[in-house]
Amino acid sequence: MRGQKTREKIMEAAIKVISNETIEGLSTRKVSSEAKVNLAAIHYHHRSKEGMLIDLSRYIIIKYVFPTFEDLYKNPREPKEFVMNLFEKAFQLFEKRPDVVRTLVYLWLHGTKNRRIKDILVTGKQEFMEKCIDVLEENMSTKRAKKVISRTLSILIGMLMDALITNERPPQKELNELAGRLS
């Protein structure tokens, strides 16, 4: 239990450091200082900076991404409503934890250099897409559902990146119009 708490403190500190300084600014010393844990604890739990980034990729997906969208899959919805709820959930996460969204973007970019991080994030994205496709298939063909979710995620990622830069979410009217066009 204590080890799990320490691991979580390290992950949350890494999110904060990466969000403020990018991955290049991340060091085990900065994380240990931010988490208020012994430097040896970081090496015990993660072995290295790269090990910490690999674990952080899993942590963000399991702790933040999947839970944010969990109830999206439970009730069948019309495609427009589903896409609108997807946008809403994503921007709720952005408003609540912009540092997590920013860190996820940095990890995605870092995945070009680290195959394990890339594999974790790609697998998480595929699992997310499969769940979305399952819901959309209630109202459309599999082929169309795949296109809808693929386009929706591409646009959503761009919108989230824009929101990170401007620190503003898109207007609700724009999201409604997009949801209608995408579905």
**Residue 139 belongs to a domain with what CATH number?**
1.10.357
Question: Number of folded domains in the chain?
Answer: 1
Residue 24 maps to a domain: no
Residue 23 domain flag: no
Residues of the chain with pLDDT under 50: none
Q: Which domain holds residue 141?
A: 50-182
Domain assignment present for 9: no
State if pTM tops 0.85.
yes
- What pLDDT does residue 68 have? 96
Q: Which residue, among 122, 77, 86, 102, has the nearest Cα to 166 in the 3D structure?
A: 102
Query: How many Cα atoms sit within 13 Å of 114 on the Cβ side?
Result: 20
Amino acid at 113: K
Q: Please state, in angstroms and rounded to a whole number, the distance separating the CA atoms of residues 50 and 66.
A: 23
State the residue for tokens 């809808």: 148
pLDDT of residue 119: 97
Residue 124 lies in a domain: yes
Contact 16, 106 (CB under 8 A): no
Residue 109, domain member (yes or no): yes
Instruction: Specify the pLDDT at position 80.
Output: 93
| 145, part of any domain | yes
Residue 21 resides in a domain:
no
Question: Helix 142-166 vs helix 79-96: angle between axes, to the nearest 10 degrees?
Answer: 30
Q: Is residue 173 part of a domain?
A: yes
